A and B are shown apart, each in its own frame.
Chain A
Amino acid sequence: MSKTKVDQPTFFGYAVTEGQKKITDELPPIIGYPMKLMAMVMRMIVTASGFIMAFTFGAVVVIRYGFGGDLFAYEEWLLAISIVGFFAGAVLASSRNLHINADILGIVIHDPRLIWWRGFLVLLIELVVILFLFYACYVSILDDFSFPRLRSTPVLRIPFVTWRIAIMVAFGFMAMFTAAYLYVHIRKGLGLPLKSDTDKGTSK
C-alpha cells in the first residue's frame, strides 16, 4: 500500500506521524501476526472481487451484443461475491480506522485529557456496538439453520447463509481491529511504551 496520509492508521487525539506503524504491529505478536494475515486475506478478497465485478459486467455486455447470448444466472454468484468483497473492504477500513465519522467535538476540544477520554469512549462504544451486531448476525444465522431446508437462490441454489456468514465473520474481524485500537489507545493513555516508540528509541 502507498504510504499516503489517508492510508495510515489514525489514533484518536494523536497526529499521524510519518512512518507510523500499522495497528497490528503495535500488538503482541501472538495476536498481531494472525490479524496481519487476516488483513492480507481481506486485501486479496477486495482486489479479486473488484476485478470480478467489473469484468463480469464487461463480459455481460460483450456476450449480449457480440455473441447475442446471455451470461446465465450471473447475478446470483456475482452478488454473493460482491457482498463478501464489500464486507472485506469494511474490515480493511476498520483495520485502518477509515470509517466515516462527524468529527465535531474534535474541532471544539483541545484539552489532551478530554481528547483521550473522548477517544476512549468512542472506541468503547464502537466495540460494544460491533459485538452486538456480531451477536445479532449469529442469532439470525442460527435462525436460518433452524429451517429444514436452507433458503437459497432460485437457479444456482446458493444458500443465503453463505454471504450471511461472511457478514457475521466480517463484524467479528471489525470488532477485533476496534479492540486493537482500544488497546493501543489505553496504552498511550497510561503512558506505556508502544512498539513504535521502542523502535524509535532503538534506531536513535
Chain B
Amino acid sequence: MIITGSLFIVCAMLLLGVSVYVAFGSVLIFIALVGDQSISGYLPTGSTGIRSLVLLAIPLFMIAGGIMEKGKIAAPLVALAEMFIGHIKGGLSAAGVLACGVFGSISGSANATLTCIGGIMMPHLKKANYPGGQSAALIVSASPLGLLIPPSSSHILYGWVAQQHVLKCFLSTVIPAIILITLLIITNQFMLRKYNNIELSERPKPFMPTLGRQGRLAGPALMMPIIILGGIYGGIMTPTEAAGIAVVYAIPVAIYFYRGLTWKSLAQTIQTSGVTIGVVMVMIFMVLIVSDNLIAQGAPQLAKDMVYSVSENPIVILLMINVVMILIGMLMDDISGLLLATPILLPIAQSTGMDPIHFAAVIGVNLGMANITPPTAPLLYLGAQVCDTPVSKMLWPTLVFIIFAWLPTLMLTTFVPELALWLPDLLLGR
C-alpha cells in the first residue's frame, strides 16, 4: 500500500510539474500519514547520508565544470578537433562530438558540456551550412558523454549507493562511450548525405606548425583529464581530492592562461555552480530519505516479485529493467533517478547474474539516454536555448540519434557484459 501509493504520488507530482525534491517530500507526508515511522527520523537519515567525503566530489566537479565553462577552456579543444577533420564533409559535426567527449572527461557534467561545446560549435556549423536542427540534435545527443567518460558524477554516486569500487564504475562506461561516439558520427554522416551545399574548411597549411601552435594553446586544457585521471588511477589521490585539485588547477588556467575569467567573475561562477549544487544536493537529501523508507517497507523485494511474475527469463528481465530506468530517467534528472533506481533495481539485476559494475554501465547509458528522450528531456530544452534552434526542428533528428546510436549502445552494454567489465578487470583486476 505504502509503496504503491508512494510511486503514484511521485509520478503524479512530477507530471503536475512540482519540483523533484518536493515530489519526494510529498511522499514523506504520505508515509508519515499512512506508515508507522516517526518523522523525527527524516532529518538524521538525510543529513547522515549527505555527510560523505565521497559525495563531496560531485559539487567539486560541478565547480570545476563551471570554471571551465566560463573560462573559455573549450574553444581551443574544439579548434584542435576541427583541425584534424574539419575539411571532411561531416567532419565539423564529428569534431563537435569528439569535443563533447573530451570536455565531458574534464567536466563530468552533461549540462556544462552542452553549454560549452554547443555555444562554440553551433555558430561554426551554421556558418558552414550544416542543417541547424540536426546539428543541434547531434550536440545534444553527444552531451551526455560527460556522464559516461570518467570522471562522472553519477558514477561516484552509484559507487557510493551500491558500495562498489568507484574507479571500476568510472571505467565501465568507457567502451560504451566509444561505441556511442562512433554510432553518433556514422548516423550523422548518413543523415548528411542529402545536403550538398556544406562548406568545408581548408586543412591548415603548413599543418605541423599550426598543429604545434594549436596544441600549445589546448595543452593546459588537455592536461586537466591527465591530472585528474592520472591522479586517481595512479593511486595518488581519491576522486574527491582529484576533484579539489581540478578546481585549484582550473582557476589559474582560466584566469591567467585563457583569460576567460577574472577573480570577480570567478566568485560569480562559484556562486552559480553553488546554486546548481544546492539543487542537486537537496534532491539527494530527499531521495535518500524516501529510498530509505521504501527499502524499510520492502520495495526491492516487491519490485523483484513483480518482475519475476512477468517472466523469469533473464533477457526479458533485463529489458524490463531498461524500460523502467528509461521511464524513471524521463521523469527525473539523472542523479535522483540513479538514487531511486539503484537500491530497487540492482538486486533484481544481480539475481539474473549481472555484475554490479556491469549494472553501473547499464544505468549510466540508460540515464544518459533518458536525459535526451522527449517529452521531458532536460538536455533537449537546454540545447534548444544554447544552440538557438527551435525544439520542433530538433525533435526528429534527436529521435533518429536515439534509435540508431543510443539504443544500440544500450542494448550492447546490457547484453554484452564484456564491454563494461573488460577495462575495469584489465586495469584494476577482478
Task: Please give the residue numbers on chain A whose beta carbons come within 8 Å of chain B beta carbons, in ascending order.
Answer: 1-2, 5, 7, 43, 46-47, 49-51, 53-58, 60-61, 65, 75, 78-79, 82-83, 85-93, 96, 98-107, 118, 121-122, 125-126, 129-130, 132-133, 135-137, 139-143, 160, 163-164, 167-168
The reply to whether A58 and B281 contact each other, CB–CB distance below 8 Å, is no
Determine whether B240 belongs to the interface, using a CB cutoff of 8 Å to chain A.
yes
CB-CB < 8 A to A142: which residues of B?
Answer: 40
Give min CB distance, A20 to chain B, whole Å. Answer: 17
The reply to whether A103 and B376 contact each other, CB–CB distance below 8 Å, is yes
CB-CB < 8 A to B192: which residues of A?
Answer: none
The reply to whether A89 and B279 contact each other, CB–CB distance below 8 Å, is yes
- List 9 A-B pairs, minimum CB-CB distance, nearest first: A57-B244, A89-B278, A46-B274, A54-B247, A90-B278, A140-B43, A58-B248, A99-B19, A86-B281
Determine whether B101 belongs to the interface, using a CB cutoff of 8 Å to chain A.
no
9-residue interface stretch from B23-31, B91-99, B214-222, B345-353 = B23-31
A92 to B272, CA, bound (A): 9
A82 to B16, CA, bound (A): 32
Determine whether B283 belongs to the interface, using a CB cutoff of 8 Å to chain A.
yes
The reply to whether B59 and A86 contact each other, CB–CB distance below 8 Å, is yes
The reply to whether B20 and A118 contact each other, CB–CB distance below 8 Å, is no
9-residue interface stretch from B44-52, B160-168, B312-320 = B44-52
CB-CB < 8 A to B56: which residues of A?
Answer: 53, 57, 78-79, 82
Which of B19, B241, B274, B276 interacts with A49 by CB under 8 Å?
Answer: B274
Which of A98, A136, A168 interacts with B40 by CB under 8 Å?
Answer: A136
A132 to B333, CA, bound (A): 24
A5 to B382, CA, bound (A): 11
Quick one: given A82-B56, A89-B274, A167-B43, are A61 and B20 in contact (CB under 8 Å)? no
The reply to whether B14 and A102 contact each other, CB–CB distance below 8 Å, is yes
Extra 14 A-B pairs, beta carbons < 8 Å, given A50-B277, A61-B245, A100-B19: A50-B59, A53-B59, A60-B241, A61-B244, A82-B59, A85-B274, A89-B274, A90-B281, A93-B275, A99-B22, A118-B17, A126-B22, A163-B47, A167-B47
Give min CB distance, B253 to chain A, whole Å. Answer: 14
A87 to B274, CA, bound (A): 9
A41 to B355, CA, bound (A): 47
A2 to B267, CA, bound (A): 12
A184 to B25, CA, bound (A): 24
CB-CB < 8 A to B25: which residues of A?
Answer: 129-130, 132-133
Contact with A along B245-276 (1 / 0, CB 8 A): 10110010000000000000001101111111
Quick one: given A53-B244, A86-B50, A140-B43, are A47 and B267 in contact (CB under 8 Å)? yes
Give min CB distance, A166 to chain B, whole Å. Answer: 9
Determine whether B408 belongs to the interface, using a CB cutoff of 8 Å to chain A.
no
The reply to whether A88 and B274 contact each other, CB–CB distance below 8 Å, is yes
Task: Please give the residue numbers on chain B whose beta carbons come within 8 Å of chain A beta carbons, in ascending order.
Answer: 13-22, 25-26, 28-29, 32, 38-44, 46-47, 50-53, 56, 59-60, 63, 236-237, 240-241, 243-245, 247-248, 251, 267-268, 270-279, 281-283, 285, 330-333, 375-376, 378, 385
CB-CB < 8 A to A46: which residues of B?
Answer: 270-271, 274-275, 278
The B interface is mostly helix, strand or loop, or mixed, namely helix
CB-CB < 8 A to B43: which residues of A?
Answer: 136-137, 140-141, 164, 167-168
Which of B47, B52, B267 interacts with A164 by CB under 8 Å?
Answer: B47
Which of B243, B251, B275 interacts with A92 by CB under 8 Å?
Answer: B275
Q: In the complex, which residue of chain A has the Cβ closest to the Cβ of B70?
A: A2
The reply to whether A104 and B274 contact each other, CB–CB distance below 8 Å, is no
The reply to whether A100 and B376 contact each other, CB–CB distance below 8 Å, is no
The reply to whether A101 and B279 contact each other, CB–CB distance below 8 Å, is no
A65 to B234, CA, bound (A): 14
The reply to whether B245 and A122 contact each other, CB–CB distance below 8 Å, is no
Quick one: given A46-B271, A54-B248, A107-B375, are A89 and B281 in contact (CB under 8 Å)? yes
A83 to B274, CA, bound (A): 12
A135 to B272, CA, bound (A): 29
Quick one: given A53-B244, A102-B332, are A89 and B276 in contact (CB under 8 Å)? yes
The reply to whether A83 and B277 contact each other, CB–CB distance below 8 Å, is no
Give min CB distance, B255 to chain A, whole Å. Answer: 14
Which of A57, A96, A106, A136 interacts with B240 by CB under 8 Å?
Answer: A57
The reply to whether B20 and A129 contact each other, CB–CB distance below 8 Å, is no
The reply to whether B39 and A139 contact each other, CB–CB distance below 8 Å, is yes
CB-CB < 8 A to B333: which residues of A?
Answer: 100
CB-CB < 8 A to A98: which residues of B?
Answer: 275, 279
The reply to whether B59 and A7 contact each other, CB–CB distance below 8 Å, is no
- List, sorted by A's number, 13 A–B pairs whose CB atoms are closer than 8 Å: A50-B274, A89-B274, A91-B278, A101-B17, A104-B375, A118-B16, A122-B18, A132-B28, A133-B25, A139-B40, A140-B43, A140-B44, A164-B44
A122 to B331, CA, bound (A): 16
The reply to whether B17 and A104 contact each other, CB–CB distance below 8 Å, is yes
CB-CB < 8 A to B275: which residues of A?
Answer: 46, 89, 92-93, 96, 98
